[in-house]
Amino acid sequence: MGVLQQGLSAFTRKHGLGVACFIGLSVFVWVVFLIVLPQLSMLDFSFRYNLPRAEVGGPADVYTLDNYAYFFQGNDGTFNALDIGILVKTMVAAVIVTVIDIAICYPIAFILAHSATGVAARLMVIGLIVPFWVNEILRAFAFRVLFGATGLVNSIGLSAGFWDVPIDFIRADVALYSGLVYAYILLMIFPIFNAVEALDRNQIEAARDMGASWWRVHWRVVLPIAKPGIVSGATMVFMLTAGALAAPQILGGPSNLWFTQLIYQWFNESANWQRGSAYAVVLLVVCISFVMMLMRVFKVSIGEIGR
Main-chain phi, psi angles of 172, to 5 degrees = -80, 0
Type of residue found at 259: F
Interaction residues for other proteins, span 15-34 (CB under 8 A): 15-19, 22-27, 29-31, 34
Main-chain phi, psi angles of 63, to 5 degrees = -75, 150
Cα–Cα dist 148/167, whole Å:
9
> Is 215 within 8 Å of 282 (Cβ atoms)?
no
Site for other proteins contains 58 (CB under 8 A): no
Please select the residue that binds other proteins; options are 38, 58, 85, 224, rule is CB under 8 A. 38
> Is 185 within 8 Å of 105 (Cβ atoms)?
yes
Q: Least distance in Å: CB of 78 to other proteins?
A: 27
Main-chain phi, psi angles of 49, to 5 degrees = -80, 155
Type of residue found at 278: A
Q: Which residues pair with 63 in a beta bridge?
A: 48
Task: State the binding string over 244-283 for other proteins (x if CB under 8 A, else -).
Answer: xxx--xx---------x--xx--x-----x--xx--x--x
> Is 244 within 8 Å of 184 (Cβ atoms)?
no
Name which of 249 and 256 has its Cβ closer to other proteins: 249
Stretch that binds other proteins, among 14-22, 62-70, 76-84, 95-103 (CB under 8 A): 14-22
Please select the residue that binds other proteins; options are 158, 174, 212, 294, rule is CB under 8 A. 158
Site for other proteins contains 99 (CB under 8 A): no
Site for other proteins contains 54 (CB under 8 A): no
Site for other proteins contains 130 (CB under 8 A): yes
Helix axis angle for 152-160 and 136-147, nearest 10°, is: 20
Interaction residues for other proteins, span 65-94 (CB under 8 A): none
Interaction residues for other proteins, span 203-232 (CB under 8 A): 204-205, 208, 214
How many other C-beta atoms lie within 10 A of the C-beta of residue 67? Answer: 23
Q: Pick from 105, 36, 94, 42: which is nearest to 239 by CA? A: 94
Site for other proteins contains 201 (CB under 8 A): yes
Query: By CB under 8 A, how many residues form the interface with other proteins?
Result: 113
Site for other proteins contains 142 (CB under 8 A): yes
Site for other proteins contains 146 (CB under 8 A): yes
Task: State the binding string over 105-124 for other proteins (x if CB under 8 A, else -).
Answer: --xx-xx--xxxx--x-x-x
Main-chain phi, psi angles of 58, to 5 degrees = -85, -170
Name which of 79 and 203 has its Cβ closer to other proteins: 203
